[in-house]
């Protein structure tokens, strides 16, 4: 450990007390590897402040000693943004002790939650006052509001409610010089120039430490209907979405699932069953909700799917008859990554292109990847209505254990080139972190990179906030 780090840790200990400063390697170990287990870091200490003032103290000390900080929430991020560098040169700043919901106002339709609040308990707390925070995703039991905001997370309800960026009304944060930005007023209109709040959303901890967030709420759902449909192609799936959207405003989940992914789930995940008789090359999971108790959302969806069937848009459909079945349908979608992991090595690409271009992109890109890399299986699943799918490439069954290293990089470059040529993004909702930084540097337009660097240098001239992440 360098002298500067030793002094920084000793002074943080003196200021914040022993509960806030963890140096035992066994206690730190679970937090220095990313969720996917691909990137292993090291750190001499994990500092866990319990208030905004304590975060400001830590950031000021870090600036004084030039010790980089790596903010971390639930460590569920998919791009290793919260994993410290392997040389142990940075200190982990865990936000999990800042876990208070400061206020919930049904009248203002706002909740103010500290950065370390976990998403699932926040859902429960706002539900108690008849409200709902509509963003949700598979990691809701461990991801934090600070991490969701810092990655501008998406999830399964973006179709209706947008990503974190549209659900955050304001941010409180400690900036790299230790000053506190307070943006929690929840003002609907505020045109005092650049939005610091929006700059911090999706900044992946490179511009400051988010300490609390004002979140927009909507009325709680009174009923939901979940359906599983079989379709002939991704084109037909998009036709179905447009058909439904033209006739109802209740659709908020629309997830594309290829037959190959469904088969893997049925093979590896105990207790799963195919929802439909017969096989279909593609499937769509649909969720419709209402917060109006007079609306019969199940009946409406059933009727619309009946018409879609008659018009040949879909091949078959079934509506979940109760909540347990609805959850079983969602499990088939949520378990795809888990099933792929059980099957073997899989490369994940979280990509987006224009919504209307996505069906053809999935088919063409899959075919091109499988032709260029014989033996692999490529397919796309996920948020078709957002133009965002998880384009996964699975190794051949006989692939060597070092497939990721041997062929993975080439495949990823191939996929990213196809996405870029289609005018898309190589990171739709998972951020850049450290896993996508080289590809971002290779493919981003020079103007975008220059602007990112200029913003980073202006706000963090000492480079102490999460160096080596996001900014090429």
Ligand X SMILES: Cc1cc2nc3c(=O)[nH]c(=O)nc-3n(C[C@H](O)[C@H](O)[C@H](O)COP(=O)(O)OP(=O)(O)OC[C@H]3O[C@@H](n4cnc5c(N)ncnc54)[C@H](O)[C@@H]3O)c2cc1C
Q: Is 313 in the site for ligand X (CB under 6 A)?
A: no
443 closest CA partner among 422, 457, 462: 422
386 closest CA partner among 222, 254, 247: 254
* Interacting positions 190-209 with ligand X (CB under 6 A): 204-205, 209
Of residues 91, 92, 122, 153, which one binds ligand X by CB under 6 A?
153
The answer for residues whose C-beta is within 8 angstroms of residue 360's C-beta and 6 or more apart is: 234, 235
Of residues 20, 117, 131, 148, which one binds ligand X by CB under 6 A?
148
DSSP string, 70-136: EEESSS--SS-TTSPPTTS-SEEEE-TT---EEEEETTTTEEEEETT-BHHHHHHHHHTTTEE----
Of residues 32, 52, 59, 72, which one binds ligand X by CB under 6 A?
72
Cβ closer to ligand X: 144 or 412? 144
**Nearest distance from residue 133's CB to ligand X, in Å?**
14
Q: Is 176 in the site for ligand X (CB under 6 A)?
A: no
H-assigned helices in 231-275 = 234-245, 259-268
Interstrand relation of 218-219 and 209-216 (parallel, antiparallel or unpaired): unpaired
- C-alpha–C-alpha distance, residues 443 and 419, integer Å: 10
Of residues 28, 91, 143, 257, which one binds ligand X by CB under 6 A?
143
CA dihedral sign, ordered 244, 245, 249, 252: positive
DSSP 440: H
- C-alpha–C-alpha distance, residues 60 and 58, integer Å: 5
Query: Taking the CB of residue 283, how many other CB atoms lie within 10 A of it?
Result: 29
Residue least distant from ligand X (Cβ):
147
Which range binds ligand X by CB under 6 A, 78-86, 126-134, 214-222, 413-421? 78-86
Cβ closer to ligand X: 125 or 360? 125
**Nearest distance from residue 454's CB to ligand X, in Å?**
20
Strand ranges (E), 387-470 = 388-394
Q: Give the C-alpha distances (Å, rounded to integers) separating 229 from 234, 278, 466.
A: 12, 12, 44
The answer for residues whose C-beta is within 8 angstroms of residue 118's C-beta and 6 or more apart is: 74, 99, 140, 141, 142, 143, 144, 145
DSSP 369: H
**Nearest distance from residue 247's CB to ligand X, in Å?**
27
Q: Is 240 in the site for ligand X (CB under 6 A)?
A: no
Cβ closer to ligand X: 298 or 433? 433
Q: Is 75 in the site for ligand X (CB under 6 A)?
A: yes
Query: Taking the CB of residue 6, how many other CB atoms lie within 10 A of it?
Result: 14
* Interacting positions 411-430 with ligand X (CB under 6 A): 429-430
Of residues 95, 159, 167, 240, which one binds ligand X by CB under 6 A?
95
**Nearest distance from residue 471's CB to ligand X, in Å?**
12
Cβ closer to ligand X: 15 or 97? 97
Q: Is 352 in the site for ligand X (CB under 6 A)?
A: no
Q: Which residue has the tokens 């400690």?
A: 174
Q: Is 183 in the site for ligand X (CB under 6 A)?
A: no
Q: Is 285 in the site for ligand X (CB under 6 A)?
A: no
Which range binds ligand X by CB under 6 A, 73-81, 184-192, 223-231, 288-296? 73-81
Q: Is 74 in the site for ligand X (CB under 6 A)?
A: yes
Cβ closer to ligand X: 71 or 275? 71
**Nearest distance from residue 32's CB to ligand X, in Å?**
12
Total site size for ligand X, rule CB under 6 A: 36
Q: Is 121 in the site for ligand X (CB under 6 A)?
A: no
Q: Which residues bind ligand X (CB under 6 A)?
A: 35, 70-78, 81-82, 95, 115, 137-139, 143-144, 146-148, 150-151, 153-155, 204-205, 209-210, 429-430, 433, 466, 469
């Amino acid at each position: 450990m360098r002298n500067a780090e030793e002094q920084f840790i000793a002074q943080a200990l003196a200021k914040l007390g022993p509960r806030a400063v963890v140096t035992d390697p066994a206690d730190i170990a679970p937090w220095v590897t990313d969720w996917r287990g691909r990137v292993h870091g090291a750190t001499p200490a994990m500092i866990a402040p319990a208030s905004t003032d304590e975060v400001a103290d830590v950031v000021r000390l870090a600036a004084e000693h030039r010790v980089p900080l790596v903010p971390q929430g639930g460590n569920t991020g998919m791009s290793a943004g919260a994993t410290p560098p392997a040389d142990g040169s940075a200190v982990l700043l865990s936000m999990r002790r800042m876990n208070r919901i400061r206020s919930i106002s049904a009248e203002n339709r706002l909740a103010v939650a500290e950065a370390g609040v976990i998403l699932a308990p926040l859902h429960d707390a706002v539900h108690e006052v008849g409200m709902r925070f509509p963003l949700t995703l598979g990691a809701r039991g461990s991801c934090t509001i600070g991490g969701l905001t810092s990655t501008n997370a998406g999830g399964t309800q973006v179709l209706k409610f947008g990503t974190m960026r549209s659900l955050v009304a304001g941010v409180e944060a400690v900036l790299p010089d230790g000053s506190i930005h307070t943006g929690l007023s929840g003002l609907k209109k505020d045109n005092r120039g650049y939005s610091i709040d929006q700059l911090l959303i999706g900044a992946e901890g490179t511009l400051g430490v988010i300490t609390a967030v004002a979140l927009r709420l909507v009325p709680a759902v009174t009923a939901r209907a979940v359906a599983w449909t079989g379709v002939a192609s991704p084109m037909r799936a998009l036709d179905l979405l447009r058909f439904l959207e033209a006739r109802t405003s209740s659709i908020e989940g629309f997830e594309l699932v290829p037959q190959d992914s469904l088969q893997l789930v049925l093979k590896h995940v105990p207790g799963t069953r195919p929802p439909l008789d017969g096989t279909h090359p593609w499937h769509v999971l649909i969720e419709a909700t209402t917060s109006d108790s007079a609306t019969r959302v199940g009946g409406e969806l059933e009727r619309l799917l009946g018409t879609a069937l008659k018009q040949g848009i879909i091949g078959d459909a079934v509506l979940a008859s109760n909540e347990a079945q609805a959850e079983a349908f969602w499990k088939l979608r949520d378990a795809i990554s888990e099933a792929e992991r059980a099957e073997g090595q899989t490369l994940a690409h979280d990509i987006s292109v224009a919504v209307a271009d996505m069906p053809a992109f999935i088919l063409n890109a899959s075919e091109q990847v499988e032709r260029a890399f014989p033996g692999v299986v490529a397919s796309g699943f996920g948020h078709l209505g957002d133009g965002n799918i998880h384009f996964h490439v699975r190794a051949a069954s006989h692939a060597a254990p070092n497939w990721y290293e041997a062929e993975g990089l080439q495949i990823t470059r191939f996929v990213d080139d196809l996405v870029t040529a289609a005018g898309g993004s190589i990171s739709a909702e998972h951020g850049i972190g450290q896993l996508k930084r080289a590809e971002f540097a290779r493919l981003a337009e020079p103007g975008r990179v220059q602007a990112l660097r200029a913003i980073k240098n202006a706000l963090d001239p000492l480079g102490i906030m999460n160096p080596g992440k996001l900014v090429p």
